[in-house]
Structure 1
Amino acid sequence: MSKPSEVRLRPGRVEDVDTIHASILKLGTHIGAPEEIISTADDLRRYGFGEKPAFSTLIAEVGGEFAGLCLYFPIFSTWMGRPGVYVQDLYVEDRFRGRKIGERLLRHVAAQCRKDGGAYLRLSVDADNEGAKSFYERLGIAWSSYEQTQKITGEAFFAFADATENGEQE
């Protein structure tokens, strides 16, 4: 039996979806961009726990209580010729911060990636989130000076995806 203050890590399950989604909403609020989150718990249920999961989650619990999560998925580097892992979301409840839960989540995900032949971990940090930047730097997860994230979303993405070079559907 675990001690009340002991941190336990376990894979996320479909019954965790509401908690996972609530954590993502809290994360969005924390970085000052709650309006950017348009996902629903049903989206996470469908794409993370369906027939072909697009992501995995690792849940941290303290005394059986939700303490944090890491949401991640596999990626591949053609330059390294090796698989890796992309951490999409890392969240620790305020009352559990300072207990190295975020670090434990990341190290566990990295260890699993390595076990599966992976050689790197990648993530993005909100440009204004100085606390997260410092946290990652302390762990040796450095800022990449030669990369910049680009994205296209929403209607612009759909229009881009639907257009071909000659304006024809494939």
Structure 2
Amino acid sequence: MEIRPVQSDEVGLLYHLIQDLAKNQHLESFVETSPERLSKALFREPPDFGALLAMDKGRAVGYLTYTISYSIWAGRPFLHMDDLFVTAKERGKGIGKQLILHVRKMAMARNISSIKWEVDRDNQAAISFYQGLGAQVNIKGIGRWEFSGADHSQGTDK
């Protein structure tokens, strides 16, 4: 098993896994990205996000995506884990744990204060997984304010 950053020629593998996660959660219609958009965001300077692949014998079997943000209270950056996913066939083999421990080690080396993520409060398996790693899972409301393309072209203070 190898955990490593996504390479430019592997964005299609990442995209396939993102689609697999969306299907797993019955949310396929919400995936708006494309391999081209992912590649542009991942390989610009600085990148918009980071991505790790779990590779087993040349097959992509899981991924973890993240962004880096800044905690005003901690006075240091924090890592926001966007997705942690392992294919159904490979679950239970410790791959998810390897992915999150890899990103934890990376975050600590960069003096990042913490890792934060969202988890569905009904997903007890995921909550137990995170708690088993020693993480705290706080059930907190998450605000979201989304904008369509049309909203961006018009002023918001009219």
Query: SS where residue 9 of structure 1 aligns?
Result: strand
Provide TM-score, normalisation by structure 2. 0.89
Alignment pair present for 1:162 and 2:146: no
| Structure 1: gaps (5+ residues) | 1-6
Query: SS where residue 154 of structure 1 aligns?
Result: coil
- Give 1:75 shift: 1.6
Q: Aligned residue for 1:40? A: 34
Q: 1:157 to 1:133 in 2, by over 3 A?
A: farther
In 2, Cα distance between equivalents of 1:141 and 1:157: 40
- Superposition pairs for residues 22-101 of structure 1, below 5 Å? 22-101=16-95
Query: SS where residue 92 of structure 2 aligns?
Result: coil
| Structure 2: gaps (5+ residues) | none
Query: SS where residue 48 of structure 2 aligns?
Result: coil
**Aligned pairs, number:** 158
Q: 1:160 to 1:78 in 2, by over 3 A?
A: farther
- Give 1:127 shift: 4.3
Q: Aligned residue for 1:152? A: 145
- Superposition pairs for residues 10-25 of structure 1, below 5 Å? 10-25=4-19
Q: Aligned residue for 1:3? A: none
- Give 1:52 shift: 3.0
Provide TM-score, normalisation by structure 1. 0.83
In 2, Cα distance between equivalents of 1:67 and 1:161: 42
Q: Aligned residue for 1:129? A: 123
In 2, Cα distance between equivalents of 1:129 and 1:149: 16
Q: 1:63 to 1:53 in 2, by over 3 A?
A: same
Q: 51-60 or 104-113, which moves further after superposition?
A: 51-60
Larger of the two Rg values belongs to structure: 1
- Give 1:56 shift: 0.9
127, 138, 141: which is aligned to 2:132?
138
Aligned Cα RMSD in Å?
2.1
Q: 1:28 to 1:41 in 2, by over 3 A?
A: same
Q: 1:73 to 1:35 in 2, by over 3 A?
A: same
Matched residue type, 2:109: K
